[in-house]
């Protein structure tokens, strides 16, 4: 066993945590959703889809209006630029 018991538990359970963002365009606005899936031994144990913000264009500039102060805005913006622009 190593010194970090948390890593040992994650390795034993084969714990995997996937987080990504999805974007849906409706009525001239783009809604951003955070999707998180936790898997233990290749079985889904929990899944969550939560709205995180609204992206809109004004005067040729894009803006993100977050719905929660706890989100990492730079992650959402990076994902949006890579996948949608």
Q: Tell me the percentage of the chain whose pLDDT exceeds 90.
A: 52
pTM: 0.78
- The answer, yes or no, to whether residue 17 has pLDDT greater than 70, is yes
Spatial contact of 50 and 34, defined as CB atoms under 8 Å apart: yes
Helix, strand or coil for residue 82? helix
pLDDT, tens only, 49-76 = 999 999 998 898 889 999 988 888 888 9
């Amino acid at each position: 066993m190593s010194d970090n018991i948390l890593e040992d538990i994650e390795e034993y359970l084969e714990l995997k945590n996937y987080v990504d963002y999805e974007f849906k365009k409706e009525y001239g606005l783009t809604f951003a959703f955070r999707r998180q899936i936790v898997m233990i031994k290749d079985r889904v144990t929990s899944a969550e889809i939560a709205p995180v913000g609204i992206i809109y264009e004004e005067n040729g500039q894009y803006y993100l209006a977050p719905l929660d102060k706890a989100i990492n805005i730079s992650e959402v913006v990076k994902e949006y630029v890579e996948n949608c622009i």
